[in-house]
Amino acid sequence: MTQTRMIAGMPVFPIGLGCMGLSHGYGQAVTPEQAQALLLRALDLGVTLFDTAALYGFGHNEELVGRVLSPHRSRFFLASKCGIFKEDGKRRIDGRPETLRRTCEDSLRRLRTDVIDLYYLHRWDKAVPIEDSIGALADLVQAGKIRHIGLSEVSAATLRRAHAVHPIAAVQSEYSLWSRNVELAVLQACRELGAALVAFSPLGRAFLADGLSSAASLADTDLRRNMPRFQADAFLRNQALLALLRDHAREQACTPGQLALAWLLHQGPDIVPIPGTTDLAHLQENLAAVNVTPDDALCAELAAHFRHDRIAGDRYGPATLAEIDTESFPLA
């Protein structure tokens, strides 16, 4: 497989690193020493896309990435996100131009850099016209604070409106064997506009890696506790789908997680998965998925097996679904 993919004309390793889990989201956070070791190991293994956000750990994750990786700034493509942050103890979505300009300065300081390569609007603030938010980010490009603009969890219509103001380099959305909403419209829109599709949670939040024994095993602070697909009944139904993935992984001499990532890479050269992990062995396993090459027939079989009407539960609860703008399949 080609060892680079392109975002805004810049080559990146086909698999990036989602950094969120190093600070929050999935239970007990790792120690600063463990986080540093993982980030540096990823860099040594060839990862060139590191993805963070102001939201992750409410600034902690950007500070971590900045502290550990800023001495190596010329070796990687840095992506962060604005538009969701913590203020007065509360999580806020705010896409007003003045807010985006202020929070960009905060991110630059935490990341210890003069410029962010790819800066996403983490969520479209529906109280603010998307054109206004993108206009503010375009001003940041003009000022040399950011190089490229991205969007996260938006519909094809919103992407087109944004792109009419300023070119959108990438759209980040959940994409995996069991989360295929982007195939409804966004992936095609990205291809028409020349934007990369950066796939977060490409392993279904560890589900497709076959690493979860039960929904009850999740820590109380694990965000999956509130996700419908990880509720007891839905989780059991979804687990039944993993047998075929396991069988084909054995035939391909790889792990289920590697096959799931390889399937995603097979969907097009414009797709860049960003699995996250806190484990060095899992990091190496994930990156080695670039060497797994399932054929068209196997990928089609997996796609049919994990089709949307066989997945139990939505990917988010109602409150989070109300915040995003993506097209959705009807629930099974």
Yes or no: say if 279 and 255 are a contact pair by the CB < 8 Å rule. no
Six token digits for residue 148: 């490229």
Q: Is 120 a catalytic residue?
A: no
Digits of tens for pLDDT over the chain (332 positions)?
A: 558 999 999 999 999 999 999 998 887 779 999 999 999 999 999 999 999 999 999 999 999 999 999 999 999 999 999 999 887 778 899 999 999 999 999 999 999 999 999 999 999 999 999 999 999 999 999 999 999 999 999 999 999 999 999 999 999 999 999 999 999 999 999 999 999 999 999 999 999 999 887 777 888 888 898 899 999 899 999 999 999 999 999 999 999 999 999 999 999 999 999 999 999 999 999 999 999 999 999 999 999 999 999 999 999 999 999 999 999 987 65
Yes or no: say if 47 and 16 are a contact pair by the CB < 8 Å rule. yes
pTM over 0.85: yes
If DSSP codes are grouped into helix, strand and coil, which group holds residue 196? strand
Kindly tell me the sign of the dihedral angle through the C-alpha atoms of 187, 189, 194, 200: negative
Q: Which domains does the chain have, with CATH numbers?
A: 5-321 (3.20.20.100)
Distance CA 162, CA 130 (A): 6
Helix residue ranges, H only, 70-155: 97-111, 130-142
Active-site pick, 26, 56, 120, 175: 56
Six token digits for residue 100: 């985006």
